[in-house]
Chains A and B, each alone.
Chain A
Amino acid sequence: MCDTSMIIHRITCAISHDRYHNITKLLPELGIQSVLIENGRTVRRRRHARLFGLPGYTERLDNSPVDLYQFSVAPVISETVIRRLADALHLNRPGRGTVYVQECKALLNIADAHIAPPDDTRHRLPGLLQNLSVITCIMSMSGSGEELAKLALELGTGVPVVSLGLGAGLRERLGLLRITVPAEKEVVRLLVPALDAEGLMRMLIEKGHLNRPGKGFIYCNPVLCGLLDTALLVGPQQHAATMEQVVAAIDELEKNTAWRRRFHELDHDAKFQLQPHHDEITIICKEEAAGQYVETALQAGATAATNAHLQRVTFDKTAGGARERYTFIVHRSITEQVLGALRQTCDKAEVQLDCLEVQPVNFAFAYRTESQ
């Protein structure tokens, strides 16, 4: 086991399922040896003219399949990689997809990419946005992700990306009675301007009723830089450019999204106590082999875990296949304790972890019972 602790940059990219071949061709060119793929969907509002030429429009939500690609690179090359990626896939245009970079501390990582990509100055560098955050909301009731996505669209920040997950934690401790509690979760990810993140979170908590028991929880991670998909609304329009195109153009000029800030410090009421000082611990390993690790983490103090199925696609000779990722949100005071326990298990366990990463969480919120 390589017991190192190093800073890496994790790149997450949500792109239409139709561009699978483009991206898997591009990544090895950038020196990326393997990528984790998760299935997801983006939700947009779609506006139709009414049937039979009746005046006005009808609107509904439209789902399109996306693949969530995730890979890690050395910090020095992350910007080059993301720019090449954004350029090749035209991610600076609304509707093409979302990409963002996050800084993580990797305690174990079967090194993904440390090879600097060939320096290519010919490509146009799209303006990357700084000062972003990613809000992740884990909704317990199936179908409630849809409501939250709709809400996010109405708030008009960026296109939400929804994926599926399974919850583990309290459910496991119910015995056979657990079958009455659905394990399926919908995970809604939303890339937002960092300045608005707190306000948006409060709004999502209130409108999504996350302050009630059993609804789910929400947290927000910092993002170094990225590109948002702003094609929130699809349909007929009367101007030379869509509002989304205008927004994207100004974003690019300004290099940030502060100019369209929605919330101010004064707006923040004390209705919900957002909890700071949390960390997100992520483990990834072969499918159906994580049981031991999850148990360890839960015993070491983590309250719940969210599981997702991933596909590891490799471009070299190493083995790909099904992977599963468990994410724990823990208070910073017990982070080291959980990490230590996980490392110990890793030393003894038969199946090694592919990766063990920690990332700071700006704010988290969950309904708390008295017992907690």
Chain B
Amino acid sequence: MLKTRVRIPFSVALRMIGDYAGDRLRTQLKAVAFIVIYLVAFQMLVFGSAPQQALRMAGGIGLVVLGLTLFLEGLLLGLMPLAQRVGIQLSSRGGLKIILPIGFLVGLGATFAEPAVAALRAVGSDVIAWEAPLLFLMLQQKPEWLIAAIAVGVGVAVSIGLLRFYLGFSIKPLILTVIGVLLPLSFAASRLPNLASILGLAWDAGAVTTGAVTVPLVLALGIGISRSSGKAERAVSGFGTVALASAFPVLAVIVLGALLLPRVPAPSGEREFFAPENREQAIYLFGNEEALKRYAFEHGSDDTRILFSDKDENVDQRNLAEAPADNHVRTTFHTILRSELSYAAQAVLPLTAFLVIVLLLLLRERPRYIDEVFLGIMFVLVGMCLFTTGNRIGLSQLGNEVGSRLPQVYRDVQVEKGQIAIDNFDSSMLHPAVGRDGNKIDVFHLLDGETVQVVKFRPEWYDPDRLIYTHRVQTSALRHPELSRVGVLLILLFAFGVGYGSTVAEPALSALARTVEDLSVGTITSASIVRAVSIGVGVGLIAGVTRILYDIPMIWMILPPYLLLFPLTLVNDEDFAGIAWDSGGVVTGLVTVPLVLAMGLGLSGELDISDGFGILAMASVCPIISVLIFGLVARLRRRKVALAAEGVNDNV
């Protein structure tokens, strides 16, 4: 603004930057500390083993902290002011004709930019074609249709949300109508077997689409519009769009499912699915007959293979061997960093560029501090890249390590504590032993340090060619008679901790909470919002994991919380209604999704459940409830204080 610059000596400047960076880093360190300590403690206390590759992991966690710091600072410095300025200018210069299409494009772009749908595909990778044909079709064969449906849903949601700020009407009727349509629709869908299978996907899609970059952007855009429209009367307005952006995709996915439904076979047994009379519908799922055959050989039973082999001699067992196997190439730090950088660029740059173009060309305005905005975008980019890299080698590694071993706690299985390779193992050392039922087994004596123990010989661990016997030392997961009940409790405890801890560290939530604190002039502190949301997510994960453990139909997970939300939303203040519904969309961001998905995948994979959907949907509905309750409590307290201050009621 001013041309006369003040010259700051280099040493002073360095100290200023040091203070600034140190302060931010400390804050993030605190935010991440809980989840890290929790995971490590869980691993040490429950599984009784230290994390593997601890140094690499610590490095990863360091990157996570650095990345989160940069990302959040970049959001606050660059992206949010940019979006807010676009919002202010849009509303004062653009009018509805520009706001609506731009809202739609931002929503559309956000969905394509943040490929969170990939996460959904990962969850549904074990879906069996004949058990849930529609789900299979949407996830595996027509993912581009799924993404397009979600994108349109988000686009419509953002434009309606911005329209609301411009015209200044209440969020409550809007949200209640949307949910009022969604619930009966979901209930009706749950009665049709094919549509029932996509309910989990639909509700998770809503939660997933609102990612780490989208949320702050849409939030700031909304605040800008509502601030400058002059019609928003409340102190804390600008919230509510993220909530719509989580609800509309649900509708879009269900509608897409309903459109695809007539051509898709009904869920059936394997034999029926591959039967020649149903062949035409089955082929539709795969596009062509070749793909169907390949799938039949990869996933079908022997009967199915024979069914196909009879007709076509060319397809034989060799096809199985040719099936694409996962190539576990050892990824180096370098390659991870490069791939994450391109991911971050994809998530950040197109949307930002779009906003800059709108501001510069359409509105003919400049950002107030162009250098700050540029630096902020760089921070976001580098921060996101460092974070996701650190996450892959550190945090989610730790999460995976614990998450994948969780089912062992639940099921009464043995936990490996390590292995001893015995060279020159001579099978003549084996002794016969007999069990109570008269079965004979082989045992041998193992000298372990000073003690000699009798060990059962397992032929599968013996490599006769190299004369190596690999002995795996095992102990019971928990030395407790009622293992599985304790196991379930432990899993639920773990789920709560992961939900709570990862949400505390979530940068999008931080950005939202700080915005709330600023707009409410500190009467609603950011720490209290973060706490309320995190507790909600923790409880939500407990609910989601319960669904997976006991295979509860999705509709019974959705209905009760949303029915509870109706009265809670109605009685709450407008401000809190918007904030609460937004925080539902905020939580599924950078930190939460990978950790939660790791857990969900681990569990559903071990428990032979076809899909692990629902965890994210639960993780996004429960915080709405917790924030609404927090809002009610805060209002009651405020009333009490106000009355007491006026001397009306002295029993505070």
Contact = CB atoms under 8 A, between A and B. Distances in A.
Nearest to A312: B230
B518 A322 contact: no
Contacts of A298: 2
Contacts of B235: 17, 39, 65, 67
B95 to A, nearest CB: 13
A291 B368 contact: yes
B236 to A, nearest CB: 8
A95 B2 contact: no
B228 A321 contact: yes
Contacts of A202: none
Contacts, number: 139
Q: Which of B231, B639, B644, B650 has the most CB of A within 10 A?
A: B644
A39 B92 CA distance: 22
B522 A286 contact: no
Contact of B642 (A95, A168, A181): A95
Contact of A237 (B229, B375, B639, B650): B650
B638 A162 contact: no
A309 B227 contact: yes
B523 A63 contact: yes
A41 B522 contact: yes
A167 interface: no
Which secondary structure characterizes the binding site on chain A? mixed
Given A170-B6, A313-B230, A322-B230, A179 B521 contact: no
B2 A173 contact: yes
A174 interface: yes
A286 B228 CA distance: 9
Contacts of A164: 518, 521-522
A164 B233 CA distance: 18
B88 interface: yes
Contacts of B652: 46-48, 234-236
A208 B651 CA distance: 33
B307 to A, nearest CB: 68
A276 to B, nearest CB: 28
Contacts of B463: none
A312 to B, nearest CB: 6
Given A63-B522, A164-B518, A321 B229 contact: yes
Interface in B1-25: 1-2, 4-6, 8, 13, 16-17, 19-20
Nearest to A186: B522
B77 interface: yes
B54 interface: no
Nearest to B15: A180
B1 A181 contact: no
A47 B640 CA distance: 12
B371 interface: yes
B468 interface: no
B642 A64 contact: yes
B16 A180 contact: yes
B521 A322 contact: no
A295 B375 CA distance: 23
A96 interface: yes
Given A46-B652, A95-B642, A172-B2, A65 B521 contact: yes
Contact of B523 (A64, A168, A286, A319): A64
Contact of A321 (B13, B230, B642): B230
Given A62-B641, A63-B523, A322-B88, A174 B228 contact: no
B312 interface: no
A62 B17 CA distance: 34
A309 B236 CA distance: 13
Nearest to A174: B6
A53 to B, nearest CB: 14
B227 A311 contact: yes
Interface string B446-465: 00000000000000000000
A282 interface: no
Nearest to B369: A178
Nearest to A320: B230
B336 to A, nearest CB: 30
A222 interface: no
A177 B371 CA distance: 11
Nearest to A162: B521
Nearest to A169: B2
A295 B518 contact: no
Interface in A265-314: 286-288, 291, 294-295, 298-299, 309, 311-314
A107 B92 CA distance: 26
A342 to B, nearest CB: 15
B435 interface: no
Nearest to A142: B522
B519 interface: yes
Nearest to A170: B6
Contacts of B229: 321
Nearest to A294: B1
A225 to B, nearest CB: 22
A147 B520 CA distance: 18
Contacts of B92: 286, 321
B20 A180 contact: yes
Contacts of B642: 16, 18, 64, 95
A177 B88 contact: no
Contact of B647 (A46, A93, A178, A299): A93
Contacts of B639: 18
A56 interface: no
Given A40-B521, A236-B650, A322-B230, A176 B6 contact: no
B310 interface: no
B445 to A, nearest CB: 63
Interface in A121-174: 146, 162-164, 168, 170, 172-174
B646 interface: yes
Contacts of A163: 521
A168 B2 CA distance: 10
Contacts of A174: 5-6, 8
Contacts of A173: 2, 4-6
9 contacts: A41-B520, A93-B647, A95-B645, A179-B372, A236-B652, A314-B230, A320-B230, A321-B227, A322-B88
Interface of B: 1-2, 4-6, 8, 13, 16-17, 19-20, 77, 85, 88-89, 91-92, 227-235, 368, 371-372, 375, 518-523, 638-639, 641-642, 644-647, 650-652
Given A95-B644, A288-B89, 8 more contacts: A39-B520, A41-B521, A177-B16, A231-B647, A234-B641, A245-B647, A291-B1, A320-B231
Closest 10 CB pairs of A and B: A95-B645, A320-B230, A321-B230, A180-B20, A231-B645, A95-B646, A322-B227, A65-B523, A180-B16, A173-B6
